[in-house]
């Protein structure tokens, strides 16, 4: 007993040193305690919890973890970015235009709902997706928030930020690039969703929540390589979050929810297994990637890759101008997207194509409209034309046609035939 008490007192001293009382540095969901009531605060896993005697309810807040960045820290951050593994430039990808277009359209309008990339092994699927990092635009986030909360949109704000806004507090904001999070096949459910320490919750009344990958991916991109090999329980988690835009962690009567709106990008080889239809339908677009057959093109790809492996920095510099031009094009398209219109007649024809192809639900109609508007914005136009729809409609519908799980996904021929039949 004495040993346990000694350990507890030592932990208390350590906690007081690690987490000194700074009301301005952390925030809480609680009003100040009434006179005569004893109040304590526990810190664990980024959570500050106030405990009041005589109350049995669990109450929780997430303390700020980021502060203003000094110039010295900025230099260190820049140096660490330079020392990271170099990424192959997006502009240097040879061929695979369908895959590249689907990725760019999702960056311009994240509400399209992501893209599923299926194709032969060794065709540059993962390389292309990861090369997208350099092109991602900046967004405004609340400084120090674990969920990349938008200071203006309540739909993608964490619980602490919403509480601060209700109290009328001013939120410090910073600009940061859209985040890309890799979901490894071997990830545990706790690592994906976040975890709660049940023992501390039961013994000390502390809701200790550690945000997971879904929290990190909020307002960003969640990439799953070999998504068709993902365990079923993780597929269920992704389906739930993709459907609602929120992630809820339920453990022994304790519930914590946070926003989880992300662009879901998956890649895989169809020879290794097909996706469950429920998950396949959650991807806004579907891109098929094939092995390049042209000998000259294959030689060019091999030579470019050899150049990159020999001197990545020099290779990236040679494509810097093209990358910057593409970044400007994406930024311009995102800014003009809201002003792009699509005629009612074209909307009706899109829905007629979906109806005659027996596409289940209305997700196909919605995604086709959004993708066509994003393509028009990318081309610098403020109005959608039939050509835009013809370009994107196979990618938006072909993975929604399969009725028999044993059938393969249509190549897009059926969709194109129906398009020209309806559009003339």
Residues designated as active site: 363
User: Which of these, 291, 378, 346, 301, lies nearest to 101 by C-alpha position?
Assistant: 378
369 by Cβ neighbours in 10 Å (0-12 / 13-18 / 19+) ranks as buried
In order of 8, 40, 275, the CA distances from 53 in angstroms are: 19, 9, 52
Rounded to an integer, what distance in angstroms lies between the CA atom of residue 374 and that of residue 391? 12
Per the document, the length of the chain is 424
Please name the helix (run of DSSP H) or strand (run of DSSP E) that holds residue 21, with its range, or none. none
Rounded to an integer, what distance in angstroms lies between the CA atom of residue 160 and that of residue 394? 42
> Which alpha helices (H) appear in 177-231, and where do they start and end?
189-193, 198-204, 213-216
What b-and-e string marks burial along 88-110, b requiring 16 or more CB atoms within 10 Å of the CB? Answer: bbbbbbebbebbbbbbbbbbbbb
Residue in the structure block whose two tokens are 């596409």: 359
Do residues 33 and 64 touch, judged by C-beta distance below 8 A? Answer: no
User: Which of these, 291, 227, 232, 218, lies nearest to 260 by C-alpha position?
Assistant: 218
Rounded to an integer, what distance in angstroms lies between the CA atom of residue 293 and that of residue 295? 6
User: Which of these, 154, 155, 135, lies nearest to 221 by C-alpha position?
Assistant: 135
Rounded to an integer, what distance in angstroms lies between the CA atom of residue 119 and that of residue 242? 23
Do residues 346 and 383 touch, judged by C-beta distance below 8 A? Answer: no
> Which alpha helices (H) appear in 253-398, and where do they start and end?
277-282, 295-310, 312-318, 320-336, 344-356, 363-378, 386-397
Q: Is 76 helix (H, G, I), strand (E, B) or coil?
A: helix
Contacts of 102 (CB under 8 A, 6+ apart): 115, 117, 285, 286, 287, 395
């Amino acid at each position: 007993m004495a040993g346990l008490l000694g350990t507890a007192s030592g932990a208390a001293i350590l906690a007081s040193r690690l987490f000194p009382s700074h009301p301005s540095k952390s925030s809480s969901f609680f009003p100040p305690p009434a006179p005569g009531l004893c109040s304590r605060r526990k810190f664990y896993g980024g959570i500050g919890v106030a405990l009041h005697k005589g109350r049995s309810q669990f109450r929780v807040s997430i303390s700020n973890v980021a502060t203003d960045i000094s110039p010295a820290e900025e230099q260190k951050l820049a140096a660490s970015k330079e020392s990271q593994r170099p990424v192959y430039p997006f502009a240097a990808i040879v061929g695979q235009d369908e895959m590249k277009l689907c990725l760019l359209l999702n960056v311009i309008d994240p509400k399209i709902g992501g893209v599923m990339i299926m194709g032969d092994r060794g065709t540059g699927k993962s390389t292309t997706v990861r090369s997208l990092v350099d092109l991602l635009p900046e967004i405004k986030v609340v400084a120090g928030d674990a969920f990349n909360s938008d200071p203006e949109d309540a739909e993608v704000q964490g619980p602490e930020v919403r509480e601060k806004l209700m109290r009328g507090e001013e939120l410090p904001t910073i600009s940061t690039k859209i985040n890309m999070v890799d979901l490894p096949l071997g990830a545990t459910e706790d690592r994906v969703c976040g975890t709660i320490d049940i023992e501390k919750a039961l013994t000390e009344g502390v809701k200790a929540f550690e945000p997971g990958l879904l929290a990190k991916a909020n307002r960003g991109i969640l990439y799953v390589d070999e998504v068709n090999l993902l365990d079923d329980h993780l597929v269920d988690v992704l389906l739930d979050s993709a459907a609602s835009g929120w992630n809820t962690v339920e453990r022994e009567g304790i519930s914590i929810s946070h926003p989880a709106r992300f662009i879901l990008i998956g890649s895989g080889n169809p020879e290794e297994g097909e996706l469950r239809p429920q998950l396949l339908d959650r991807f806004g677009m579907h891109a098929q990637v094939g092995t390049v057959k042209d000998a000259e093109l294959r030689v060019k790809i091999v030579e470019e890759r050899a150049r990159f492996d020999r001197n990545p920095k020099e290779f990236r510099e040679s494509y810097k101008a093209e990358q910057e031009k593409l970044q400007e094009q994406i930024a311009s398209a995102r800014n003009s997207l809201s002003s792009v219109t699509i005629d009612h007649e074209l909307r009706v024809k899109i829905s007629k194509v979906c109806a005659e192809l027996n596409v289940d639900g209305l997700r196909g109609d919605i995604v086709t409209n959004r993708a066509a508007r994003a393509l028009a914005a990318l081309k610098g136009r403020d109005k959608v034309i039939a050509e835009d729809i013809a370009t994107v409609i196979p990618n938006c519908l072909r993975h929604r046609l399969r009725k028999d799980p044993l059938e393969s996904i249509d190549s897009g021929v059926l969709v194109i035939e129906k398009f020209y039949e309806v559009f003339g």
